[in-house]
Structure 1
């Protein structure tokens, strides 16, 4: 909840394409979280020995406190960043001032106003788009979390659940810290370019062709970037998955489970997922939401069928295979 306070500041930075500042502040958040977590873990060991408490409980409390402290630091860092920008009024042009925070008062949250809310609902584009985005978010939730509901419904064994949870947790680290920022920025850039193209009523055919060329070039560039990163994982992941589990988790997971094979298949899923993130961002800026939602509903039905079949016959490997089918359909 505290991190959500920083979202308006992040959105303004994305709109103004202040990527350098955004990356620095995000790295500051990760670094501060790691430092606080290490410090609290060291203190928790000493505290557990002194107070004779359960070390597991103290470690969990230390993790929670580190998340809380780092979230507060991130919000304060964003506020300080905009305070510095506002203080340099003579170096900020009018265009930048009109896009966000022009005074210190704008940094603070305002009270709820029914009049302002009524003006928002008068916007036909907003009222038309909100239900479609709500439906789309529900469908994507079914696509991303549906496999867990199917596992519960089919009462899968604990080994399959454990292997899938471990592999998906490891793979999500790559997706969260490597591909998610690229996908988020691509979604914003595609939408911004497309809205500028549609909003310019007086643009000539040559300008429209140039804007389309920019979109296509950006799409191909982003696809090459994420494909190159994913191919590194796909090249080395299957060959070193057994060694990774043997070193990190021991023979129990490397020799007596299917975790290395599942992780190898997950590397292919990472490639498909990274490509899907870029293509989906591009399609979302071009295709109407209603048509896109209908296609996602069809993909969801096929995906759930693949999950049920794959889990029953192939276990965790079948579940990752169903996710690969899901991403392939969404790319198409």
Structure 2
């Protein structure tokens, strides 16, 4: 199953680069529907073999994905050596990023840093905390990379259009991450209680989810920075970045061992935060060193700095939500939620007041989708 999906990935990336959006939608829809239908049918026939049905469903859907992409985008035997070398650099980078992204799970399993109950609790909280990354950040990052790869020339100065888009994306993603941190601290217990009951909320899961909220902020910023960085890097710069990734992998392994012994399961999330901070630092230094075209009026990296009104609203909302948790929750969960809703509305109002251009861009985007539909 993994081998089949990996075989389809080069053509998935090619289809994204060529803006074959309909192909991606159709392929994902056919793959998902076939997987669900086949698993349901097999489980209905063989209820005692649910795991087998799950594996067969995923394998068949992965095979369909390969057939659809290879059947639509016929492979051409001619190879561009420059593109092949660039692809090889990205392949090595992908292996290192896989280690940095999923490394804590490998370490957790190989060295038994946590017992099985702690591993299960960590997985539950990590999956819950990564919902924003999977359903919100990932589509934005994919589309951002497609945009940058088609509008930016490698090795050229930052254009006004690309700089404005990068600035707006950094501003939007950093604000979303700051909202997650602001409200995640005071509402983690309530969310876990609603999600898994009082037993889940009574253990260390609250601390795990609070740490995960900080990790979400770093994920949001790093995703956009890496999208732009990889879109403008030349091959020799990518190779240099890969060498830095080896050092980052060593730092990640060391920090995982230290933090896990000190903080238990929370240590894995703290190690991931250190990993993301180092990757953000590398990309930030690279983007900051790029020359800007004269038409660029605002440096793109200033998008990481929230407006003063939004920062004040976030700090005030965080303090009010924390006070609400200590005084109103859990005796009056509804009042605690009401305080959070009011604070959230105040943050949104401050963002709309401070960022009218982002609001206008969102309106235009929604309007374009409505016209197309």
* TM-score bracket for this pair, using the shorter chain length: 0.5 to 0.7
Q: C-alpha offsets along residues 259-306 of structure 1, whole Å, 9 cap, x if unaligned?
A: 122012112111211210110121223341132123323322222222
**Of 190, 203, 222, the match for 1:243:** 190
Q: Do structure 1's residue 157 and structure 2's residue 103 form an aligned pair?
A: no
Indicate the residue corresponding to 1:227 in structure 2.
Answer: 174
Separation in 2 of the partners of 1:145 and 1:156? 15
**Structure 1: where are the runs of 5+ without partners?**
49-54, 83-100, 111-115, 199-207
Q: Which of the numbers 248, 253, 266 marks the counterpart of 1:299?
A: 248
**Structure 1 residues 292, 225: closer, same or farther in 2, change over 3 A?**
same
Q: Are residue 331 (structure 1) and residue 280 (structure 2) matched?
A: yes
- Aligned partners of 1:9, 1:151: CA distance in 2, in Å? 33
Residue 241 of structure 1: how far off its partner (Å):
2.8
Measure how far apart 1:10 and its partner are.
3.7
Partner residue in 1 for 2:144: 186
Match of 2:58 among 63, 67, 79: 67
1:196-231 superposed Cα distances (whole Å, 9 cap, x missing partner): x66xxxxxxxxx76x611221221232234334444
Q: 1:236 to 1:65 in 2, by over 3 A?
A: farther
How does the TM-score come out when normalised to structure 1? 0.67
Task: Report whether the alignment pairs 1:309 with 2:266.
Answer: no
Q: Aligned pair in 2 of structure 1 residues 260, 67: CA closer, same or farther (>3 Å)?
A: same
- Structure 1: how far apart are the matches of 2:112 and 2:230? 36
The structure with the larger Rg is 1
Which residue does 1:135 correspond to in 2? 92
CA distance in 1, matches of 2:209, 2:245: 27
- Offset of residue 70 of structure 1: 4.0
Shift in CA distance, 65/141, structure 1 to aligned 2, threshold 3 Å = closer
TM-score by length of 2: 0.61
